[in-house]
Structure 1
Amino acid sequence: MSKKKVVVILLVICIVIATIPLLIHKNSEFGGSDGHAEELITEINPDYKVWADPVMEPPGGETESLLFCLQAALGAGVFGYGLGVLRERHHKENKPL
């Protein structure tokens, strides 16, 4: 099997894995772990007072999602760059001049 076919098959598998949960759980809200933790804390101790405030409050949920996506993209870029550097270093060390 050629590399192109393998890449296409893997991309299709990734898309299927990402879309199946969304199709199965229709009309569901995918909340973050922060909201869930806050609910559990108030359930356990209703008198709990928050001792830290956010440095910046985003104007809306869309802005928060955008910042999260930018953070993920930056992390993926740094990770990919590091892998590229390691791969090139490996190729240079193993090739005779």
Structure 2
Amino acid sequence: MPAWYQRNVIETAAELETDLTAGLTQSAVAARLEKNGPNELQKQPGPSVWQKILAQLKDFLILLLLGAAVISLFLGETSDAVVIFFGRHP
């Protein structure tokens, strides 16, 4: 039997036990839903807030800005440090 992407429409319909003109009967739909569950993708959890923060700290330019902010604080340039820390960055 050829791979799924090499099969023609007739072979695929026969394997899936469906009619190309009428589709599935309600009883066939109910049976497949019972057997396989709904046709939905499972939602994958995204990264946590801490994982996002740690990912940002791996970027060289972010570390460079943090270093500049710390140096600004030591030099007494508080306003520069605040702008670097809290300024709007795209």
TM-score (norm 1): 0.27
> Normalized per residue, which structure has more helix?
1
